[in-house]
Amino acid sequence: MDSFVEQLKRGTEEEFTEESAWDGSAVNTTSSSLPAIYLPLLPRYLRHPTTRGRKATEFQETKKACLNYIQDALLQHQWQRAAEFMTNYLETLENTSAEKRMAAPEVIWRIGTEILCHHSKSTIEEFNYFAERMKNLGVKRYLKVCLEHVFYLLCNGLIDEAYQNLSLAEGWRYGEQTTAQDKELKLIQAYKGLLDYYNWAKKRKAMLELDGNFADSVEQEMHSFFRQAAVNLKEIIKIPGVWDPFVKCYVDLLEFYEDYEEVRQVLSEYAYNSKFPPNPNAHVYYYQFLKRQGESKKTLMSVLKILHEIVPSHELMLEYNALLQKSKKRKNHRLGLEIIFTLLDFAGWKEHVKAWSCLAKQIKQILENSGKHLDWITEEWNSRKDWWPAFHFSHYLAKRNWQENESLACEKALVAGILLGKDCKYFKYVSHQGCKAKKEKFQTMKKFVKKHSSAHLRASGVLDSCTHL
């Protein structure tokens, strides 16, 4: 990687020697002491007279100007104008510079697709026609164009055409080009598998609705769809990557045929194989599958534990916390408290009522339980006491929470009162407002806080930081 600059430099040098015209399109500012940033385009204001290389021919200049106009039109959403320029730009396929001629089909494909997607008068037929032409303009990106075409069809609801296109593309062979586009081919097969899965699902629905007479033939068809889909989907899932929809479909297929072992294997591979990028969804799928299977809580918790390590702010953490609370081990209770504290560290959970009520409930439990595990709270609080007051329990937040969500303010006030003492601004403000509104629960809360905050926590040093506020 670090030799990028060298490579680029060499690339630029080669550009000079080649017959292609030097147009200053790639300049690297390399020097041992200078930051070396590769600039894809030399900005127009920096085009300078150079003494090396050939001057661009008029043809190159015109085509470049044309491309600039097209870009300009595209960025201003003037599709008609872009299309008009485009008809002139097509000549670039005959570009005298070999390098540009090679790049031309792709440029035309991309711009053309963009215009056809947005132009108000373009039709699907035109798009199809264009895509067909583009497929044959250069075999190097045949499958890419096919895939893109299929996506377009799918998004426009033309599932059958898409399927037909996928089948055609799947059978495409072109010597070495086929192997070079292996990953596109894999994708095409996978998408075909996906569509097969949809057909299968349709048949399944039909079969469940029909009973008796035709069910046999429908079932036959369904099985053939199953086979096609399963083969393709299984294939793509083996490659390291993020394949959530494919995995979901494959799991659904297998579960219908009650092949649970395979599902378990696929999902655990998908979640735990280190070659795959860390994917929280994979853990969720595995967890949900195990839950459907009615696995033991221990297994479920072990899955969630790993998820907690990857994404401590995941929504399932509340569920994990609930599981931990239900367990009988003290260690798990401790872990549950830690999880709920960690969850509330994240900005996204700042105003989550359920999370706060969970925390309030657990702290209450600990305190009511004669404060045996007060050190748990102390420990969690120690690492947070320097920033939680400003992050969660400021006067401004008290006002806002009270206005926007009373129950949230109530839960938070309880926690604040216990952790920071009854003198903390948040608790004072909310309890004052609550008492003014004459609500019963605030009285009890106040009493509770008064009883516990002074006696236990101050002694254990939890309340050191309340002087900060």
Q: Which of residues 334-363 bind another protein (CB under 8 A)?
A: 345-348
CA nearest to 191, candidates 213, 218, 238, 159: 159
Q: Single out the segment in contact with another protein by CB under 8 A; choices: 332-340, 388-396, 406-414, 421-429.
A: 388-396
For residue 208, state whether it binds another protein (rule: CB under 8 A): no
CA nearest to 165, candidates 124, 220, 214: 124
Question: What are 5's two structure tokens?
Answer: 């600059």
Q: Single out the segment in contact with another protein by CB under 8 A; choices: 142-150, 263-271, 297-305, 331-339.
A: 142-150
Least distance (Å) between residue 387 CB and another protein: 6
For residue 268, state whether it binds another protein (rule: CB under 8 A): no
For residue 81, state whether it binds another protein (rule: CB under 8 A): yes
For residue 201, state whether it binds another protein (rule: CB under 8 A): yes
Q: Quote the CA–CA distance of 245 and 230 in Å, as a whole number.
A: 13
CA nearest to 283, candidates 303, 311, 298: 303
Site for another protein in 8-47 (CB under 8 A): 8-9, 12, 22, 24, 27-46
For residue 257, state whether it binds another protein (rule: CB under 8 A): no
Question: What are 126's two structure tokens?
Answer: 């035109």
At residue 436, what is the residue type?
K
CA nearest to 420, candidates 391, 455, 458: 458
Residues ≥6 apart with Cβ < 8 Å to 461: 378
Q: Quote the CA–CA distance of 153 and 161 in Å, as a whole number.
A: 7
Site for another protein in 211-250 (CB under 8 A): 239-246, 248-249
Which is nearer to another protein, 46 or 437 (by Cβ)? 46
Q: Single out the segment in contact with another protein by CB under 8 A; choices: 51-59, 331-339, 373-381, 439-447.
A: 51-59
Least distance (Å) between residue 439 CB and another protein: 26
Question: What are 265's two structure tokens?
Answer: 């294997």
Out of 59, 172, 224, 264, name the contact with another protein by CB under 8 A. Answer: 172
Say how far residue 203 (Cα) sits from the centre of its chain: 32
Q: Single out the segment in contact with another protein by CB under 8 A; choices: 125-133, 263-271, 362-370, 372-380.
A: 125-133
Q: Quote the CA–CA distance of 112 and 90 in Å, as a whole number.
A: 10
Question: What are 138's two structure tokens?
Answer: 């250069």
For residue 120, state whether it binds another protein (rule: CB under 8 A): yes
Least distance (Å) between residue 220 CB and another protein: 16
| CB-CB contact of 402 with 430 (8 Å) | yes
Site for another protein in 310-339 (CB under 8 A): 311, 313-315
Least distance (Å) between residue 232 CB and another protein: 13
